[in-house]
């Protein structure tokens, strides 16, 4: 029932058959095929979001879903055969609209601000072993190319901005127990820092 995928893995392809999912942890990028044949970034899904709901009408996915970080997923709705309540669909619709608005906002303003906002959006309350890691936020940053696609910047600019966030102390490298995972960070100052 629960499903796990690693960074870079494709959860489903546009056009293939399948069902909807709820993202329990991690982040997912959705791409849609362009008339020119290649795929363009279309949206972002984070913890709590439902993706692939279009299959309930079409049977096939409209977008391609790729993991931006290790993800935990669950098929949606929970009760397999049962019809989906209208309120659940509405809820999904609203969250989707808001997520879209946030992604659109990620493409406004200067590069440093945009990358910072993306990092904040991806951050989740620290889910480390302890249990009650209260107000510490953590992020697993996606590959730079993906961050660039999302923010409409280039890979190089994103890299520079991430370096800046590290230097300014907003991002502190985090080492998993045992191995060193290069893209995991702890966030200083949870919400609304200096610009």
Partner DNA sequence: CGCATTTTTGATACACGTCAATCTCCGTGG
Partner DNA sequence: CCACGGAGATTGACGTGTATCAAAAATGCG
Binding-site ranges for DNA (CB under 7 A): 110-112, 143-145, 152-157, 159-160, 162-163, 180-183
Specify the residue for token string 């020119």.
36
Quick check: 171 binds a second copy (CB under 8 A)? no
Quick check: 91 binds a second copy (CB under 8 A)? yes
Q: Which of 100, 175, 182, 193 binds a second copy (CB under 8 A)?
A: 100
- Residue 53 has φ and ψ, to the nearest 5°, of -65, -20
Maximum pairwise Cα distance, the chain: 51
Report d(CA 5, CA 67) in Å as an integer.
Answer: 7
Q: Which of 1, 82, 86, 180 binds a second copy (CB under 8 A)?
A: 86
CB of 69 to DNA, least distance (A): 11
Q: Would you call 23 helix, strand, or coil by DSSP? A: strand
Q: Which of 14, 41, 111, 155 binds a second copy (CB under 8 A)?
A: 41
Question: Could you tell which of DNA, a second copy, none binds residue 96, using a CB distance below 5 to 8 A set by kind?
Answer: a second copy
CB of 41 to DNA, least distance (A): 13
Residues 6+ apart with CB under 8 A from 71: 4, 5, 11, 23, 24, 25, 26, 27, 28
CB of 66 to a second copy, least distance (A): 15
Structure tokens at 104: 């659109």
Quick check: 89 binds a second copy (CB under 8 A)? yes
Whichever of 52 and 142 has its CB closer to DNA, that residue is 142
Structure tokens at 79: 């009760």
Residues 6+ apart with CB under 8 A from 126: 133, 136, 137, 138, 186
Count of positions on this chain that bind a second copy (CB under 8 A): 36
């Amino acid at each position: 029932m629960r499903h796990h995928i690693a960074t870079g893995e494709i959860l489903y392809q546009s056009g293939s058959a399948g069902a909807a999912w709820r993202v329990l942890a991690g982040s997912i990028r959705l791409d849609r095929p362009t008339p020119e044949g290649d795929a363009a970034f279309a949206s972002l899904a984070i913890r709590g979001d439902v993706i692939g709901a279009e299959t309930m009408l079409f049977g096939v996915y409209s977008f391609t879903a790729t993991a931006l970080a290790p993800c935990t997923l669950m098929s949606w709705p929970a009760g397999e055969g049962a019809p989906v309540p209208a309120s659940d669909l509405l809820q999904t619709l609203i969250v989707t609209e808001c997520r879209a608005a946030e992604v659109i906002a990620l493409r406004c303003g200067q590069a440093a601000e945009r990358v910072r906002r993306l990092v904040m959006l991806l951050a989740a309350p620290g889910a480390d072993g302890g249990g009650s890691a209260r107000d510490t936020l953590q992020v697993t940053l996606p590959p730079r190319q993906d961050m660039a696609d999302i923010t409409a910047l280039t890979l190089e600019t994103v890299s520079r901005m991430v370096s800046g966030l590290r230097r300014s102390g907003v991002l502190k490298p985090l080492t998993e127990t045992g191995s060193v995972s290069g893209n995991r960070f702890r966030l200083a100052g949870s919400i609304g820092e200096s610009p």
